[in-house]
Amino acid sequence: MEERIIKTEYSDEMQKSFVDYAMSVIIARALPDVRDGLKPVQRRILYDMGELGIRHDRPHRKSAKIVGDTMGNYHPHGDSSIYDALVVMAQEFKKGMTLVNGHGNFGNIEGDGAAASRYTEARLEKVTQDAFLADLDKDVVDFIPNYDETSKEPSVLPAKFPNILVNGSEGIAVGMATSIPPHNLGEVIDATKAYMMNEGISTEELMSYIKGPDFPTGGIVINKDELLDIYETGSGKIKIRGKVEVEKIKGGHQNVVITEIPYPMIGANIAKFLQDVAALAESKKTQDIVDISNQSSKEGIRIVIELRKDADAENFINLLYKKTHLEDTFGVNMLAISDGRPETMGLKAIIKACVDFQYEVNTRKYTNMLAKELERKEVQEGLIKAVNVIDLIIEILRGSKDRQMAKDCLIYGKTDGIQFKSRESVIMAQQLCFTERQANAILEMRLYKLIGLELDALIKEHDETMSNIYRYEDILDRKDSMATVIMQELDEIKKEFSRPRRTQIENAEEAVFKEKEFEVMDVYYLMDRFNYAKLIDKNTYERNTEACETEFRYCFKVKNNGRIAIFTEDGTMHVIKALDLPMSKLRDKGTPIHNVTNYEESHGPVLLAANMEEMLTLRLAFVTKKGLVKIVPGEEFETTRKTMASTKLADGDLVAGVEVVNEEKNIVLKSRNGYFLRFQLEEISVLKKASQGVRGMKLEGKDEVEEVYLTRGNDTKAITHNGHEIVLNTIKLLKRDSKGTKIR
């Protein structure tokens, strides 16, 4: 085969290819048709289920069977996309009215996915059969070849009501997306009838029937006044809140119970909501929460938040509206395929398109039905006429050599070759003029039709046929008659399938959350030797001063909005916000500091915990294990971070001690080998935190500094060394950079 090379501009080819791809996605994949409200994959699933005979009154069939058959015959785009579409059409919490009846695990409102298609089963809902598939055999819509042209599929299903409004739709195409909220079936039907009776009706008048969206999850739409503009333009934002109740329980406590959620919250956003509520407590946005639990079940949503005794429930609910997805936004963009192209349509435009489609479908339906009734009339009249001359017809049949000879006699009066009993019979036969259809019916007629009662039934059936013909002709000739038929069908659908509205529509004021003014007070910070920290109030400290001072490693006063500085031996300073620590009782265990800081065990033991605000106004003495010392001004440690380097260390060196310098005069260094060095603090250089310091104590061999103490002039502070008590101020006062005094 000869090679053909087509030269073209790359940018032109890319542009053409992209446009072709985009239109394919828009028209054939992602957007619904305004006439039946279905995307192609949904339409193909429902049609295939109808073809397979999986009716509402028959047993369920495996979803895998439906998926495989749909993919093989109509939708060659992968089984997962087909099954996902099938699942959504069966989920009551996503659709205003389900079109598929699922059996098995089809997922739940909390975001759990459906079981695999080999486990679940499905069948059509009754409304799908009655309102989408019932008239397909009456040539009401065009059929187009399937993807491989081995069979045909409907280009659109003859939906009898505006399904695009009832079930809504969501889809993302190339460069555009659709987001249509679901509505109440009864209201949509009422609005459709109102439009049919007055095509000049305004959107505002239509909204006296359609109050607004009706989400399957209920909730409350709170921007009623903005809905008119949304339905006029086909786009906008609907604000929706969950429904909340307040229950009083024993002990004066209250439960805030969420019984309905905003439509956008379905799925994983329920778990996200629970996390957000917990985060409000953790971040101290509210201290009203005692407990939160999700008690939802098949009976409905029930999320319970227990509040403390004196909590303001209304204020707390407003906080949920402001800070969580309990109040959410549904973005409306009513984009659909109309006349073969995507179009953003308002409420009236959608109803008009659906009504025009109904007129088109019913015109084709009744034209087809009229043609069939006229055929029946023709046959019935031929049979009645034949019964009246049945003896002659029997004579013709007995005298004819073949079927065609008898047929020609019945239609054209040809008697050549037929043997008759008399000349009169020939004359009568020559006068026959049945139509071809009548002649075929006569030739196929059975003898029992000659019974008198059968003739009466035939005449009665003919009368019914004539009545149908007059009715169908009236429907086709007069628009009012057809409108009446369409509205009667709508009334029947409403009567059988409508349900009460679930979503409330109202105007609500913006939620206002009043944060309680924070009362700054003195509290006491306690930390034990296991690094568990807590705050206690001033009264508790004053009643238990001795226990606080002796049982805890650190005990000092701090503001409840203050910060605590934690120094570790690797030269790191960690900052704790007092707000991150709960107010506790004295005997409560407390909170591990690694829960509220970046502290890890690898940072080494805690050497100092101090009130950061006080520390910033003083100075800090640093001593390393290799004997280096320095004094650093407190302002060097001002930071907004949780962690910072507090000093610079030489390789292999660690911090032996950090002490806040207040009115102390002397410093005592104790080494591992039992040397004590006391010298004046004024001998230590004041340096930046980024420096290593100067030598404070001469160390021999592998000796290193173990302990650091600060003393005042008349201080009687004592320590125990080798079983003996040593008053620190009695140790000989030497100079910095000395070896010190050996004490055994």
Find out whether 693 and 687 touch, Cβ atoms under 8 Å.
Answer: yes
Exposed / middle / buried, residue 577 (Cβ in 10 Å: 0-12, 13-18, 19+)? middle
**Amino acid sitting at position 486:** I
CA gap 694, 152 in Å, rounded: 92
Nearest CA to 441 among 399, 396, 383? 383
**HEC-encoded secondary structure of 721-732:** ECCEEEEHHHCC
The beta strand positions in 468-512, using DSSP E, are: 504-505
Find out whether 67 and 54 touch, Cβ atoms under 8 Å.
Answer: no
Across the strands, what pairs with 720? 725
**HEC-encoded secondary structure of 121-132:** EEEECHHHHHHH
Exposed / middle / buried, residue 11 (Cβ in 10 Å: 0-12, 13-18, 19+)? exposed
- Burial state string for 367-396 with b = 16 or more CB within 10 A and e = fewer than 16: bbbbeebeebbbbbbbbeebbeeeebbebb
Question: Residue 272: helix, strand or coil by DSSP?
Answer: helix
Alpha carbon separation from 564 to 528, 549, 664, 688, 704 (Å, rounded): 15, 18, 22, 21, 29
CA gap 629, 698 in Å, rounded: 12
Alpha carbon separation from 529 to 181, 250, 589 (Å, rounded): 60, 40, 12
Q: Tell the residue number behind the tokens 């280096």, with chain if given.
A: 628
Nearest CA to 621 among 659, 653, 649, 650? 659
CA gap 376, 369 in Å, rounded: 11
Given the DSSP bridges, would you call strands 705-711 and 504-505 parallel, antiparallel or unpaired?
unpaired
Please report, to the nearest 10 degrees, the dihedral formed by the alpha carbons of residues 463, 464, 466, 467 taken in order.
120
CA gap 314, 509 in Å, rounded: 13
Nearest CA to 43 among 14, 103, 85, 98? 85
The catalytic site residues sit at: 119
Alpha carbon separation from 685 to 32, 97, 631, 696 (Å, rounded): 79, 81, 6, 10
Tokens representing 454? Answer: 């059968």
CA gap 9, 5 in Å, rounded: 13
CA gap 159, 134 in Å, rounded: 9
Find out whether 225 and 507 touch, Cβ atoms under 8 Å.
Answer: yes
DSSP 304-361: EEEE-TT--HHHHHHHHHHHSTTEEEEEEE-EEEETTEEEE--HHHHHHHHHHHHHHH
